[in-house]
Amino acid sequence: MAHPVSYYFSQRWHTTPLPRLIDELAELCPDQPMVSLLRNKNQPGEGYRDYSIQEFSRAVNRAAWWIEQHLGRAPTPWATLHYVAPQDLSYFIITLAAVKTGYQTLTCHPSADVDTHLSLMEHTDCQLLLYPPSGHTSAMQKVNAIRTFRSGLTALVTPTLEEWLAAGGPTTPVYAFKPTLAEVLHDPFTVIHSSASTGPAKPIVFTHATVYLQPVGFQKLLNPSPVNYEQWRGQRVGVLTPLSIAAGLFPFLGMNFCFDLTLVLPAVTTGPGPSMNATLMDQLLQHGDVFACILGPKTLPETCATPAYAANLCRVRQLAIVGAPCPPYLASQITAHTQITHIYGSSESGTLPAEVLPDPADWAYLKLSPDVPHEYRPVCGPYHELVLLRRPDAPAQPVFAMFRDCDEYPMGDLFARHPTQPDCWRYCGRRADLVGSPPRRFLPRDMEWMLEAHPAVRWALIAEERHGGLALLLDLQPDAKRALLPTANIWDTLQPLLDQANALCPIPATLRRDLAVFTDPSRPLPLSVKGNPQRARSLELYRADIETVFGSVGGAY
């Protein structure tokens, strides 16, 4: 009986860098499916087509030879090559081909604006831009803007994904990558960026060590059976996150081989708007034959609001939420059809081994494997900050390959303890999002989620507390009027949610309609690259309005 990919992976991973290992796995397990793509994005009913490790390896080698032919090998060590494309498999093909030819890629979240692209290119001294041919994608709009504003740029059009993967044509020789893992361990592999939740996006450099240590942290667990990835072993897993960021990169850069996964991708959007939506998710659930899906929570409101989409959640055993929590008001709908679990980590820390909790009622709680050295440190009230600890006997700790002089790494995330289950913690928000002054500081996200359950509300931000009153910033959906009855005032339907939000407030303070500020479309909220409001900058933008509502309700404020 043939050995699975994971057998060869575990034998060679400690000495062989990923670009060369993929070529070796292509020889050892040539027919093993690696990724599955829609046969026809316009006809999802035609189903999916699996691509083997051998086919993927050939695509990477084609791209490496193409880069050498058109750019030459990197003129300086790890020269930066910015790749801008629709969210498809070509991101991994170009990333690996760039490493083989001496470059490092820079990739951005699909929601990143042009200024973010330009800033990151400046920080990485990037003078090379690659992009596939495409007529009307949002990626092309960014490419055109980058070419306009970045002088001295070398810009090249690459072949399409279909051309990289094509079965015909002359034989493609392997583009050799000769160093051992030890020789390149701390060399750059690729560059992504921070989420920009509190300010401008900053480049984050993944080294070969970052990539190498990610699956090792899972391989060496003493009890892997409760961990989500172990429960997916040998299965088809949908990846519905952006592929140009850490959440999309990690499953493809070793975790897939470690757990014998076939990763299933959705259709690619070509027009403006988000790269992922509920329709694409539903197509994957219907036709992708997946055991689990890794996804961000943004598509879930539309999925739950569409009965046919919600019913199809039963086609998948687990939804692994990454990047932000599942909105609580959707949880009961989702858990009626499938199980919620979590992918937890950050670009800096990598994905941490998280256990699947058996009780659906515990959907909101995170339980890290006890093999991950960590502790939850008290901050204020019920909130504890997760801190990763360096331990010489730990299985693997990617974060300390990135921060080699640190003995601990605070995640910046605050959690509350489970009332009865040990080692289970509920995410409450970011430390930077605490509202109020000691000793009345609290995280408002649970209250804000309650208000965002209203169909007309896009974002709710609690600004601050003064003398028992909480100022509130409300950002309505562009089509908010359609979400209301023709004669309805929004408060007719929002007030009950306001009352429910107040019931969740952990301090003696209340939200009131006379302390609410509605955003002005001419002053849009500043967003992070994930598409969420930047709290501090948003509140500063509306500081005068907040002062006005506090002043209008009396001198007590």
What DSSP string runs through 453-471?
TSTTEEEEEEEEEETTEEE
- Residue 531 confidence (pLDDT): 81
- Residue 482 confidence (pLDDT): 62
507: which 2 tokens? 């301090």
3-state class of 350 per DSSP?
strand
pLDDT digit string (tens) for 371-417? 999 999 999 999 999 999 999 888 789 999 999 999 999 999 999 99
Per DSSP, the residues of 191-217 read EEE---SSSS--EEEEEHHHHHHHHHH
- Residue 481 confidence (pLDDT): 60
pLDDT digit string (tens) for 256-273? 999 999 999 999 876 666
Q: What are 321's strand-pairing partners?
A: 295, 342
- Residue 66 confidence (pLDDT): 99
Asked if residues 140 and 134 have their Cβ atoms less than 8 Å apart, the reply is: yes
Long-range contacts of 402-408 (CB under 8 A, 24+ apart): 402/204, 402/205, 402/207, 402/210, 402/348, 403/348
- Residue 266 confidence (pLDDT): 97
Asked if residues 84 and 108 have their Cβ atoms less than 8 Å apart, the reply is: yes
Count of CB atoms situated within 10 Å of the CB of 40: 11
57: which 2 tokens? 């390896």
Domains detected in the chain: 5-268+277-417 (3.40.50.12780), 436-552 (3.30.300.30)
Whole-model pTM: value is: 0.94
Q: What are φ and ψ of residue 44, in 5° steps?
A: -60, -25
Asked if residues 505 and 447 have their Cβ atoms less than 8 Å apart, the reply is: yes
- Residue 272 confidence (pLDDT): 62
- Residue 168 confidence (pLDDT): 82
In the predicted model, residues of the chain with pLDDT beneath 50 are: 555
- Residue 483 confidence (pLDDT): 57
